[in-house]
Structure 1
Amino acid sequence: RTGSDLEMLLRHDLRPRLVKGAYAGDYDDYEEIQNRLKRHVLRVRDTSGAISIGTHDPRILAWLADALREERHRIHLGFLMGLADATKEGLAGAGWTVWEYVPVGTASRPYILRRERYLAEHRVRGTAPAP
């Protein structure tokens, strides 16, 4: 989402959920997407509110664990079922609040296709999602 969307949520004291995931967006530059998410996370950190963050990006997760360690009580990290299980366990063991999203329903094809595209993009970049 845009910075103005985030500001609107913060003005109304709503908890934003920032996701860097497998959805098509306005940007396809990997570094810009990471930097934009970091800027938005830091903007919320400057408030007193909570934030939900969804990502399997190991670089973002390492940054969060380092830069926001003292703020972890206000941060909820969301992961998809079946991905990053070791990372989820490690973060939860370190005191982070970890949520696992479970897909339900019969329309699973779009979900599966997004995951396949996400994993293929990692292969092209020579990177990997969080373990």
Structure 2
Amino acid sequence: MIKSLYPCLWYDGNAKAAADHYCSIFKNSRITAENPMVVTFEINGFKFMGLNGGPHYKFSPATSFVVECETQEEIDYYWEKLGEGGSYNQCGWLDDKFGMSWQIIPAVLQKLMSDPEKAPRVIEAFMQMSKFDIAALENA
């Protein structure tokens, strides 16, 4: 039986800065160990490892972290904090200043998308959005 399963994120020498950044944004987060090669940290009880692997590999949107938000205030907060110094994309996606892709989505999205009548209007609405607007989706 495996003891744990967690992602290892490859950074170009700035794993500690990335871990500090993420821990400053998410409540209940902390650095659990560090050495010159790796830093391990937890975000809301989920373990991550940051590896100072060098310039050989870069992040891509093929891997992203989803932050499911209950309120518009949460969406606004994570959108601003994680996107600062990075770039904002379509449909709730952003790349942070370290190149990691994030999806900042409303928790209600799954419910809205499961309604066969409403789903096409919801898709049409969010395809026009960068940051999700919960009220606009609910009124679509």
| Structure (1 or 2) with the greater helix fraction | 1
When the two structures are superposed, what TM-score results if normalisation uses the length of structure 2?
A: 0.32
Structure number with bigger Rg? 2
State the structure with bigger RCO (CA 8 A, min sep 6), 1 or 2. 1
| Structure (1 or 2) with the greater strand fraction | 2
When the two structures are superposed, what TM-score results if normalisation uses the length of structure 1?
A: 0.33
